Structure 1
Amino acid sequence: MDPAGGCPHADNARLLVAGAVAEVVLPGDVPGAAVLGHEALKEFLAHPEVAKDAAHFTALREGGIPDGWPLLTFATVHGMTTADGDDHRRLRALVGKAFSVRRVETLRPRIESVTAELLDRLAEAADGGGIADLRASFALPLPLGVICELLGVDAAHRGRLHHLSNQVVSTAIGPEEATAANRELAAVLAAVVADRTAHPGDDLTSALIAARDEDGDRLSPQELIGTQLLMIVAGHETTLNLITNAVRALCAHRDQLLLVRSGKADWSDVVEETLRWDSPVSYFPFRYPTRDLTLDGTRIPQGTPVLAGYSAAGRDPATWGPDAHLFDVTRPARTTGPGRHLSLGHGAHYCLGAPLARMEATIALERLFTRFPALDLAVPETELARHAGFVGNSVRELPVRPTP
């Protein structure tokens, strides 16, 4: 795996020709595997003999993973993403109420209000030379602001939290940088917990501090910090990439934008097709077979760290047909409906924040292209610098001309 990342689609297509599962070498020469094919990934994500707990990670258990390994947080953070069975169900139940469809719907007015404010700022940012960075001015502050408000995180922390979460998911930084970023992120989140403990409010962090499960147990301090970290990172990085990738797709496919404007497709179709065609997450770490596992004819040894290849599965011709590489917002509902693509997960670990991400992206895109119907990229797509690392899948900046 190239730690620097880059556009994954050409490599994914080449690997898929060879099979649905690939042996990979992770940073630090750590042997691993990646599941690329849609059906194989769907089976793998729900397989009863595949675990998330790093106790099953053979190389880590045997001391073969250094402290500064750039992917270590994915394996060792305490929270839902590294829990199995009853532990996972307990953690998910404590958080799940805040992300129900009904609870998310109550956030709609606030999301619409923030979107309107950001569109005003985007127009102002472009006043000087007619060009603005849509990623920094619009696609980032919307989901980051919403998730931080939901968690009760003070606005003063938000810029730093984005920088640190970006470092945590990067595969392209060195051991010292990775260690420092993780320590600082934990310290910032601990400060948020201390503040909410002393001054509880109507926010998710305060609720998690007070919450007890059916047996009367609260989240441990490590689980609380781990849950916050998950909410911050997953609650804005993926939606940031989703909005960015959707704008890129529509600017490059004006015919698809016209289909939406003519009523032949709607904005939710754009969101679902973007999730399939250019998944916000390319390869997500980690799951571990609890025994030697054969998937699509390929043996994955017990304890191997396995990447979920969402960007590859989204363009797998075996599932999506020979036009899998094409962006088409009119694909039949059976292929673009929620749950059909795998970009928000599958099985017990399906993304809790999916309703929120879908709502944010749908509102953002509709309001953006209504306000700026002629919006277009200010530079060719080929000149856009890619996200650092092979976990996130997007570009670092998105210069646009927001023409009224």
Structure 2
Amino acid sequence: MGHPRPLVIDPTGRDIHGEAARIRERGPVTLVELPDGVRAWAVSSPALLRRLLTDPRVSKDPRRHWPRWIDGEIAPEWPLFTWVAVRNMFTAYGGEHKRLRALVSKAFTARRTAALRPRVEEIAAALLDRVGEAGRHGRVVDLREEFCYPLPIQVISELLGLPEEQGPELRAVVDGVFHTSATPEEVTDTYARFYAALGELVALKRRSPGDDLTSALIAARDEGDTRLSEQELLDTLVLMISAGHETTVNLIDNAIHLLLTHPDQLAHVRSGRVRWEDVVEEALRLEAPVASLPLRYAVEDLEMSAFGGPEGLVIRQGEAVLAAYAAAGRHPETYGEDADRFDVTRADKEHLAFGHGAHFCLGAPLGRLEARIALRAVFDRFPGLRLAVDASALEPIDSFISNGHRSLPVHLS
């Protein structure tokens, strides 16, 4: 089968779900064009995506399996450069992935995550005190800025031992990493600033180690037998900081927005018919915090029919694959004709928002915990919470990867 004309992805992410629908319409696997003409196969069928994400013939390592990277065709100015260039478990394959993941997985055990509950509740309560002050006398509050954002960033900052004064700079550079329509100058500036900030953090923790994940990773680098390189150390911190808050910010933002625009669904929770867990899972399914995740690569020719996909379609060795999570989360093949509807009572809320297989998000239990605590806290504290603008006026983040709102203006009562 010849290559069809690719669907050009809008790098600004202005209409993530409209674009996801167009991806689905073209079949379970379709060719798309990313910024700068880079082509990839977008996979939107949940069943097919699961099979591909668990197959060892699909890699995340561009240095071994993406000819365009190996041949030097991908420039540092490419808006997705950081997503591909980092050397950490996100872009590792096989034994390398296991080695790098093992270093971090100790920090995200079920027991450790559960132990964070009281601290997350404390942070949420303190933030909502500030929100209450800001919203006095009917003033509009940007809930994304004042609550959805600072909650996960404070949690991950404490886990990593980040000094408070580094917060604003790290936030700015993480926003830059997700900004998929950035100019070449913005891309290279973000890259340089990120590594400068992390270099400062590592130097500080080498001088004054603490009981935190950064110090533990430095110890593994300097004293352990894991062969963790300095670049892997820095890039593991890049991953922890980026993945550790952006996705959870979007999850909390989207869930609050969905409940405020679907009062009948909020009533289900308030009556006790469903749990906050149900809200979180349905929000993850309907509004995947990461809409599309770059990139994976075929280690050898992959006949899609062998994965339950279309006959005659082959992803050739070295071609790139894009996991289309937003498209998969609303796929009628799995969720029926009402897949676009927010329904907290839906029986099947299983989703791929945190990935699948060897690269399943290590921080998923923590993200879920933060979201449950945040939602319960904000709706208990402000039962009259309502949007301050028409829902159609809310603007999406400038990204086709990150799925959330630029702001979430509300009245508290």
TM-score (norm 2): 0.94
Q: What amino acid is aligned across from residue 144 of structure 2 in structure 1?
A: R
Tell whether 2:349 aligns with 1:326.
Answer: no
Q: Give RMSD over aligned pairs.
A: 1.4
Q: Is the 8 A contact 2:12 2:399 kept in 1?
A: yes
Which of residues 309, 314, 323 is equivalent to 2:329? 314
1:277-356 superposed matches below 5 A: 277-295=286-304, 296-297=309-310, 298-332=313-347, 335-336=348-349, 340-356=350-366
Which of residues 146, 149, 153 is equivalent to 1:140? 149
Tell whether 2:51 aligns with 1:48.
Answer: no
* Greater Cα shift, 46-55 or 7-16: 7-16
Which of residues 369, 384, 409 is equivalent to 1:359? 369
Q: Is the 8 A contact 1:315 1:324 kept in 2?
A: yes
Q: What amino acid is aligned across from residue 392 of structure 2 in structure 1?
A: T
Tell whether 2:220 aligns with 1:211.
Answer: yes
Q: Compute the displacement of 1:213 (Å).
A: 11
Match of 1:162 in 2: 171
Tell whether 2:219 aligns with 1:200.
Answer: no
Give the Cα separation in 1 of the matches to 2:303 and 2:389: 45
Q: For 1:21-76, what per-residue CA distance to the aligned partner results, in whole angstroms no more than 9, with x for missing partners?
A: 11011111112221111111111111110001012112122222222111011111
Q: Is the 8 A contact 1:6 1:386 kept in 2?
A: yes
Q: 1:213 to 1:325 in 2, by over 3 A?
A: farther
Q: 1:294 to 1:330 in 2, by over 3 A?
A: same
Match of 1:272 in 2: 281
Match of 1:118 in 2: 127
1:59-208 superposed matches below 5 A: 59-127=68-136, 129-208=138-217
Q: What amino acid is aligned across from residue 261 of structure 1 in structure 2?
A: R
Q: Is the 8 A contact 2:23 2:42 kept in 1?
A: no
Q: For 1:283-308, what per-residue CA distance to the aligned partner results, in whole angstroms no more than 9, with x for missing partners?
A: 11110011122332232222122211
User: After TM superposition, what 4+ stretches of structure 1 lie above 6 angstroms from structure 2?
Assistant: 212-215
Which of residues 388, 397, 400 is equivalent to 1:390? 400
| Paired residue total | 398
Q: What amino acid is aligned across from residue 28 of structure 1 in structure 2?
A: D
Tell whether 2:31 aligns with 1:29.
Answer: no
Q: Is the 8 A contact 1:196 1:205 kept in 2?
A: yes
Give the Cα separation in 2 of the matches to 1:250 and 1:15: 27
Q: 1:177 to 1:213 in 2, by over 3 A?
A: closer
Give the Cα separation in 2 of the matches to 1:68 and 1:316: 34
Q: For 1:210-267, what per-residue CA distance to the aligned partner results, in whole angstroms no more than 9, with x for missing partners?
A: 1279982342110111000000000000000000000110011100000001111010
Give the Cα separation in 1 of the matches to 2:172 and 2:146: 15
Give the Cα separation in 1 of the matches to 2:145 and 2:129: 14
Q: What amino acid is aligned across from residue 378 of structure 1 in structure 2?
A: A
Q: For 1:93-140, what per-residue CA distance to the aligned partner results, in whole angstroms no more than 9, with x for missing partners?
A: 111010011001111111000000000111111126521000000000
Give the Cα separation in 2 of the matches to 1:200 and 1:38: 43
Q: Is the 8 A contact 1:133 1:399 kept in 2?
A: yes
Give the Cα separation in 2 of the matches to 1:364 and 1:231: 21
1:365-380 superposed matches below 5 A: 365-380=375-390
Give the Cα separation in 1 of the matches to 2:374 and 2:224: 41
Identity among equivalent positions (%) equals 49
Q: What amino acid is aligned across from residue 224 of structure 1 in structure 2?
A: L
Q: 1:32 to 1:154 in 2, by over 3 A?
A: same
Match of 2:22 in 1: 14
TM-score (norm 1): 0.96
Which of residues 211, 232, 237 is equivalent to 2:241? 232
Give the Cα separation in 2 of the matches to 1:20 and 1:125: 47
